[in-house]
Chains A and B, each alone.
Chain A
Amino acid sequence: MSTVTADFLNNTQEQPGVRSPLVLGRHDNTTVTERICQIAESPKPPRAWYIAISISSSFTLMLFGLIGYLVTTGVGVWGNNAPVFWAWDIVNFVFWVGIGHAGTLISAILFLFRQHWRTSINRFAEAMTIFAVVCAGIFPSVHVGRVWVIYWLLPVPNQNAIWPNFRSPLLWDVFAVSTYATVSLLFWYMGMIPDIATFRDRATSRWRQVVYGVLSLGWTGSARQWHRYEKAYLLLAALATPLVLSVHTVVSFDFAVSQVPGWHTTIFPPYFVAGAVFSGFAMVVTLMVPARAFFGLKELVTLRHLENMNKIILVTGSMVGYAYAMEFFTAWYSGNRYEQFAFINRAFGPYAWAYWTMVTCNVISPQLFWFKKVRTTPWMMVIVCIFVNIGMWFERFVITVTSLSRDFLPSSWGYYKPTFVDIGMFVGSFGLFFTLFLLFCRFLPIVAMAEVKSVMPANHANEDH
């Protein structure tokens, strides 16, 4: 490796027989700790952070204002109306839940497959999961209309002496998403305990000592603690893996178990899961590229990490494209007139513009990742990934809205148009997402220090002593 920075930071070249290093630069335990802790410890965050958070928090305020308006007025403030009773609320829900899946995939599935490169990005991706699930949860919660009786969704005794209907996929979804949120949150938190302990032990002010002290639960990093911790981590990864697959499967059941043409297909579960991973990785890359530049993490989150993620995007993007084609084939092969109509209507009906936006963004744009140049150039990959995210939002829009707007009864066909509340809440959910993210970057360890240290070559060479 030459000393030129560009080359030095490029670990994407395959050298036969040699494992590419996961951490670049002359890093040891001390410098890794320093590099990551300084982000949260510097007395004042950079000016850009202030600008960013003031923008995102004003969008968040707008979101909560609109939620207040909706709750006090009713869901009629949205554009949803007969026959399109599910629109942006459900689209946004599925969009955000899907984004969350990349975090769990990186932290759990890649862990089980012993993909050590995950260590420098998993914390980041897990945080993204949590915040995405928070954003996702808002939409179905307020779309029930009377939010104050939302506990009717749960099997708790209520004054009507009625229990929820366990034969409905919507209830399965309540269980799936709330389990997912709980487990992801705990998994994320548990993963952070050792790093928060690091923050606690480096704390110089009293409040940091107390807050991080409480959050780290008295962790001392003893070998016995580590032993159980690692076992728990493995078990959680093994639990989270089927969980993440089940969540989007159940989300797809919301559609697939119904009779609506265009929804009632068995391809939905795998197709939804692939789409979720696809959009989630695109989101991680979109956020990671600026963050690593901004926080000086280029040696920890290397180009190789980004390239690996882009490869996953390429694979899942191709799966999604295959699913689109397969849906058409199934519709034709089924011989079912309604199913066939639903798909012809998707591609050539009043929402054709949405359909072709989706195809362009989801099927064509990720194919650019066949070129190594695109895969390893940060600005290029960010552009592709933003397209993927747009495309994945449109995918959910196309599925939800086109199918509902024209189903069995032509007399009740309609054309859905969003209102300013729909648009404002969607934009506002991005505000919330980024606000949480910026707070996370400022106050919590954004890279799993303990895990990164455990994959550093220096900490392994010593074993031979």
Chain B
Amino acid sequence: MTATIAPKEKHHASHPVVDESPLLAAVIAEFPSAGAVLTAAKTIRQAGWTDWDVHSPFPIHGIDDVMGIRPTRLPWITLGAGAMGITVALLMQWWMNGVDYPFWISGKPFFGLPAAAPVAFELMILFAALSTIAGMLLLNGLPRFSNPLFSSEGFRRATSDRFFICISARDPMFDREVALKAFSDCHATAIDECWAPPASERKFPKALSLALMVLFTLALIPPVLIAQKRSTTTTEPRLHAISDMDFQPKFKPQRTSTLFADGRAMRPQVSGTVARGDLRADSRLFKGLEPGPKVHRTLALLQTAPATPPVARLVSAEGGPRDVAERLVALADPPPADPLDSQPWVTSFPVPVTSKTMKRGQERYNIYCATCHGLAGDGDGLVTRRALELEQGTWIKPTTFHSDNLRAQPVGRLFHSITNGVRKMPSYADLVSVEDRWAIILYVKALQQARHADAKDIPSDLIPQLRDLPKE
């Protein structure tokens, strides 16, 4: 298999070549074994060739020394990339979780080395591995799809079972005859020439480059669009490729619906049903009223009673406390025939009256009522005092519990007051459960009684303790 496949019979090897003719790129020699090529390589190197290489199907042990190949820089690339991976990972985690979007999670610090270690480690490996492979390929001049060596039919066995030495035409002392002679001196089993295609054929195909340019331009459109969307504001909802839960088909309150004959989306309660938790049949417990159908209607009317508008006006009224006081007088002007006075209020507690209930009532009272009404019910709680100090025009001093009126009120009416609110005082139904409301009233009753008690009312064994109380 000597130089048989020289293309087009044009042998202008060592002379300056016209563009259109193939160029002699290298001469190659074939050897049957790793040992043979190793010996030949020694000879070639001694002969002073510099631009030459050995090709083998597997790495030949010891070839580096014979050829004088210096250790590659690759490990340094790996090291640098690994260090960069760690740095990038730590900076990324610190910036993303510690600076740009800090949020508490399980009480962990925004950024801490222990939690950052796994990702730093993985990125170190990733960066190092990617650049090792990329570095190896680039240093090796790969990918390279057009190589004059491939023009030799025999060279194909370089990746299977034959060993080759190739002397490049770029070697300063290259001469075809000399190179061929050198090979035959090394007992090469075959010699061949490798031709590079003429320069005109090596040009990048025009159609392909055009197509690539068009593709590149098209590929730019999405990022440009995204950048434009991200940098401008709009009152329209954001564009979501997949809207997920952005738009949920449902009826909103007070909308119409074609589903029902009455055209309402909100459905009225089905008659004869009770909503969960709304079964409040025990009138004594839930309303503080002795049962009876008439009563309910009256009270229902009361809920929307015209008590509210004047209060609303009062709240929005501007001016000092005197101003407010005048208005209050004006409000009270038509002598009140209070419908509440004539209700069948319960007079006994619908809950067990025990010292446990009393304790509970005291606790709840101190939490929910004392701020305004004062610990003893005199209407001098901290909030009240502060409001009066600031001369808050809209503030109304809570009624003292020790007035004759309030002392005379049945417990049912007191319950009604905290359940539904009374004039300026809001309802406490949302904050205090039914049982707790009764407990509070029990305690209020106790407070009232305390003002009018004398030593007889106190168990005799407790009297000595009273003496120990500090005198005011």
Contact = CB atoms under 8 A, between A and B. Distances in A.
Contact of A229 (B34, B59, B75, B149): B59
Interface stretch (A242-250, A359-367, A390-398, A430-438): A242-250
B118 A29 contact: no
A326 interface: no
Nearest to B147: A218
Interface string A153-179: 001000101111111110110011001
Nearest to B63: A223
A6 B35 CA distance: 33
B57 A163 contact: no
Interface stretch (A86-94, A180-188, A281-289, A374-382): A180-188
B135 A232 contact: yes
A227 interface: yes
B174 to A, nearest CB: 17
B368 interface: no
B105 A465 contact: no
A128 B285 CA distance: 74
A355 interface: no
B137 interface: yes
A228 B78 CA distance: 12
Contact of B61 (A198, A214, A460): A460
B72 A228 contact: yes
A182 B156 contact: no
A230 B59 contact: yes
Nearest to A226: B59
Nearest to A242: B125
A226 B59 CA distance: 6
Interface string A205-244: 0000000011001111111111111111001100110110
A412 interface: no
B242 interface: yes
A186 B129 contact: yes
A175 B123 contact: yes
A179 B126 CA distance: 6
B149 A235 contact: no
A175 B118 contact: yes
B116 interface: yes
A163 B97 contact: yes
Nearest to A250: B118
Interface in B228-276: 238, 240-242, 244
B58 A222 contact: no
Interface stretch (B138-146, B334-342, B446-454): B138-146
Nearest to B153: A201
A168 B158 CA distance: 51
A461 B35 CA distance: 8
Interface in B12-59: 33-36, 38-39, 53-59
Given A235-B74, A242-B125, A450 B34 contact: no
Nearest to B126: A179
A263 interface: no
A463 B58 CA distance: 14
B419 interface: no
A265 to B, nearest CB: 18
A41 interface: no
Nearest to B38: A465
8 contacts: A30-B160, A165-B97, A166-B116, A200-B159, A223-B64, A239-B125, A461-B35, A462-B35
Interface size range of chain A in the complex: 35 or more
A217 B158 contact: no
A445 B145 CA distance: 21
B96 interface: yes
Contacts of A461: 35
A213 B145 contact: yes
Given A187-B129, A197-B159, A221-B57, A162 B119 contact: no
B58 A454 contact: yes
A162 B103 CA distance: 10
Contacts of A231: 71-72, 74-75, 136
A417 interface: no
Interface string B373-385: 0000000000000
B50 to A, nearest CB: 13
Nearest to A451: B58
Contact of A223 (B55, B71, B116, B149): B55
A463 B42 CA distance: 13
A197 B123 CA distance: 31
Given A159-B240, A179-B126, A223-B56, 14 more contacts: A163-B97, A166-B116, A194-B58, A219-B159, A221-B158, A226-B56, A235-B75, A239-B132, A246-B121, A449-B57, A450-B58, A453-B58, A461-B35, A463-B61
A162 B101 contact: yes
Contacts of A460: 61
B224 to A, nearest CB: 16
B122 interface: yes
Nearest to B67: A223
Given A186-B130, A223-B63, A198 B242 contact: no
B303 to A, nearest CB: 40
A230 B128 CA distance: 16
A166 B93 contact: yes
A451 B140 CA distance: 19
B64 A227 contact: yes
B296 interface: no
B69 A224 contact: yes
A175 B140 CA distance: 30
Nearest to B39: A465
Given A162-B101, A167-B115, A190-B136, A221 B67 contact: no
B423 interface: no
What 6 pairs across the A-B complex have the smallest Cβ distances? A462-B35, A232-B136, A29-B161, A163-B96, A217-B143, A201-B156
B280 interface: no
Contacts of A458: 33
B100 to A, nearest CB: 6
Given A183-B129, A217-B142, A167 B34 contact: no
B356 interface: no
Contacts of B115: 166-167
A221 B75 CA distance: 21
Nearest to A160: B101
Contacts of B147: 218, 220
A459 interface: yes
Contact of B137 (A171, A217, A226): A217
A67 B123 CA distance: 30
B36 A465 contact: yes
B53 A223 contact: yes
A201 B157 CA distance: 7
B1 interface: no
B160 A253 contact: no
A186 B112 CA distance: 32
B4 interface: no
Nearest to A30: B161
B106 interface: yes
A235 B78 contact: yes
Contacts of B122: 172, 175-176, 179, 243, 246, 250
A453 to B, nearest CB: 4
Nearest to B240: A159
B456 interface: no
A146 interface: yes
Contact of A201 (B60, B136, B159): B159
Contacts of A465: 35-36, 38-39
A333 interface: no
